[in-house]
Structure 1
């Protein structure tokens, strides 16, 4: 019996088993390598200052083009692309010396206020901005590319058990949201607001996301759009998961008074959830129960939320180490001191910690568990935490060695200029309005799928559509940034 095109689309994104962790790592390495090459071009050639149309083209090709090509044309040979990005970086680093930073001239001030001269305790760090921007880019690429044959099936979300690039993308979106969300808590310090006020504020943040989730639900059902029910359930979607995170995170901040570590809190939550999955009938219920009522129809989204909340808290743990200003270390500091007190050292420690726990959870001599994004179980939580920790660590190392004087400015204004100088304009724009850009990408994805037979298009046609699409998404991000607009959802 011939399938309808909608059935073909649903079959195209269903029943996949993914690929290996090493495969996801090798493909994803294109992101930090693109940031490395961009950083070297900027520090050695000053190509992106001022930001001309040709500078934008290079910026776009490096930070959007590399992500697109890594997941399509070079998907079967990721190390070829990685070497193509790494070789010019090595040549630039070896042959060219860094150019001195010339701060823009400013009119003299007779009286400098303390506000202007005092450095921020929580400076905006380019390596966080660049990484979050790169994660947004590859997420936006994947949500449309998955509907084309040029995007390999091993990258699509797995059905029940396994690892894939898109499974990591969903978790990384939540993890990086946690990284930056901890900034408010760090600013408040000991003078944290009462629980009721924090819950009220978090619900205000949640409402737009829940509204978007409702709009997406109505549009998907109303337009008879192809959907993968076992991903989150019949009615649930990713916007609902994102919307419920802030209020629940606010509740867990109260527990932070008793257990002063987001890492311990996140692991404890994931471990308790894993025990419930393994030692009760919960795991079987989520995977095979009949969909008889509203709760059972959306059981994947409801229960996987506990795993995503743990990932969000793990992101907050990393943010608590990465966001504050690093205090000067003594010149004769030992390796242990550097690991405990420097930003890079803390990130290396976190990466090793999460990676060791992940491999213990899946190994034959450990817990022998399997990764499941559908359940958002303990190995999935540890995998996402490990992956994002070491990727952010790589970006931090790039910043430290290529822009060593970034945080040695004497005034806040000077440091802000240096920070923008070390940040890709494209990645800055994607990061600045992340959810708004993600929403625009979802709308464009829906438009393309409703107007084009994506499964029947050739490689050349597919790449043409995908390049135009990511250029349009980047255009939305850059226009919002150019106009100074920050849309908080």
Structure 2
């Protein structure tokens, strides 16, 4: 990469201060309202059954286009875009009735009725797929869009202190991984607990591919003289290393779970201990302004922020442990307390409120008075990411509960899967199914675009054309893998 171009791109993403949390929430709400509009169109009009080319285009515009526009053309007026999504959803919901397939049970063919299995203890849940798929899309959009002027500077990662959309995206990626990782633990036979050695060996199967990708990215970045912002993770560290080291450390923390039987408490304990180390030793100064004299100090951001990301991952496991299992039936006359304690939506809503309260306590003048730092991945950052993602899950769960209320009333696993499939966006399902593979391709395309195009000199129309082509390519790749029934597990 030419030196002048490289220096300009590094300067473009340096010394930024981010934006307010309310601004980030307004932009992020587009993801939720896109899911709402998709769900209303499907539950009232069955617009996406069958999944025709027109239906696929509409799905792309809702799932990918809305997020792209929210972070570019509508970045200064996100509330307008939210209204453009909310009003059609409200209009369709008020002027049409739910289609029969979403209100009446599906009758299985007589020839297969005898072969059907009972409903799964860990059922497939569309709202989790919608949440994870949309988070993957906004992450993929941001990693390339940040290199164009059409993407506001306030959305890019902050230098030291503050909040931004991309700061939230990094933590959310880790949180979503934690949510689904607990599924394997929930499937384990409680009578046959795994040993530490077995857990560590199993974790290596997940770690090694990610660490190899981290090394490959390191070699390619250095070899191509690619623009990189050193204060994000360090001189050699990158996000793939963070993801790769999570599984073995989580395996180690499974032993601590025997002593502290709460993922939520364990994550908070780790976050608090790390914050105490930052505030009461020279660790904070070392990370922010220390000299880079050896391999350890050169990568201090990646090494120490890993502790914060580990806390976020474990918090994701905490949420996953109660949203993935099947919800027990509740009485129609159940009290509010019972609904909060025994329903997935109630638990998520309560958890979101608790995590939000803890976050505001950490940053409040009357509380701890701390500042958010993605570079440190400190306590407020951990609490912010957890509160936001828990709230997002609660909103997605609420949408599913209103639009597809009969999914989990099925009498067999096959019938339940049929209902769940009709309640799931095929595009979001595809992004979620091969998330890490899509993320890898997104990184490769981002590198290709930056090496071949003067992104900072391109106008609005040129920039949007490249970004639309980029996200359309990722969508086609994800849908293609799904169509071929390929699941790439990294």
Partner of 2:347: 346
| Deviation (angstroms), 1:284 | 0.4
- Tell whether 2:355 aligns with 1:391: no
* 2: CA distance, partners of 1:192 / 1:70: 46
* 2: CA distance, partners of 1:117 / 1:189: 20
Partner of 2:310: 309
Gaps of 5+ in 1: none
* 1: CA distance, partners of 2:110 / 2:299: 62
* 2: CA distance, partners of 1:385 / 1:164: 15
Partner of 1:96: 96
| Deviation (angstroms), 1:389 | 0.4
Equivalent residues of 1:103, 1:417 under 8 A apart: no
* 1: CA distance, partners of 2:177 / 2:326: 20
| Deviation (angstroms), 1:104 | 7.9
Partner of 2:179, secondary structure, is: helix
Matches within 5 A, 1:361-376: 361-376=362-377
| Deviation (angstroms), 1:112 | 2.4
Equivalent residues of 1:59, 1:424 under 8 A apart: yes
Partner of 1:98, secondary structure, is: coil
- Tell whether 2:98 aligns with 1:119: no
* 1: CA distance, partners of 2:277 / 2:128: 34
* 1: CA distance, partners of 2:246 / 2:181: 11
Matches within 5 A, 1:228-243: 228-243=229-244
Aligned match of 2:110 in 102, 108, 121? 108
Equivalent residues of 2:20, 2:163 under 8 A apart: yes
| Deviation (angstroms), 1:103 | 7.9
Partner of 1:264: 265
* 2: CA distance, partners of 1:174 / 1:350: 18
| Deviation (angstroms), 1:111 | 7.4
| Deviation (angstroms), 1:109 | 3.2
| Deviation (angstroms), 1:349 | 1.0
Q: 1:272 to 1:110 in 2, by over 3 A?
A: closer
* 2: CA distance, partners of 1:182 / 1:110: 32
- Tell whether 2:478 aligns with 1:482: no
Equivalent residues of 2:108, 2:415 under 8 A apart: no
* 2: CA distance, partners of 1:111 / 1:41: 30
* 2: CA distance, partners of 1:165 / 1:387: 11
Partner of 2:174: 174
Partner of 1:328, secondary structure, is: coil
Equivalent residues of 1:125, 1:419 under 8 A apart: yes
- TM-score scaled by length of structure 1: 0.98
* 2: CA distance, partners of 1:433 / 1:34: 21
Matches within 5 A, 1:79-478: 79-101=79-101, 108-109=110-111, 112-113=114-115, 116-190=116-190, 191-478=192-479
* 1: CA distance, partners of 2:106 / 2:64: 29
* 1: CA distance, partners of 2:267 / 2:204: 21
CA deviation digits over 1:341-382, x for unaligned, max 9? 100010011101100000000000000000000000000000
* 1: CA distance, partners of 2:189 / 2:14: 46
* 1: CA distance, partners of 2:149 / 2:348: 37
Judge which range, 332-341 or 57-66, deviates more. 332-341
* 1: CA distance, partners of 2:430 / 2:477: 9
Q: 1:111 to 1:56 in 2, by over 3 A?
A: closer
* 1: CA distance, partners of 2:436 / 2:139: 11
* 2: CA distance, partners of 1:305 / 1:406: 38
| Deviation (angstroms), 1:332 | 1.8
* 1: CA distance, partners of 2:314 / 2:30: 27
Gaps of 5+ in 2: none
* 2: CA distance, partners of 1:358 / 1:105: 47
Equivalent residues of 1:178, 1:316 under 8 A apart: yes
Equivalent residues of 2:309, 2:377 under 8 A apart: yes
RMSD: 1.3
| Deviation (angstroms), 1:397 | 0.2
Query: How many residue pairs end up in the alignment?
Result: 486
| Deviation (angstroms), 1:321 | 1.3
Q: 1:475 to 1:104 in 2, by over 3 A?
A: farther
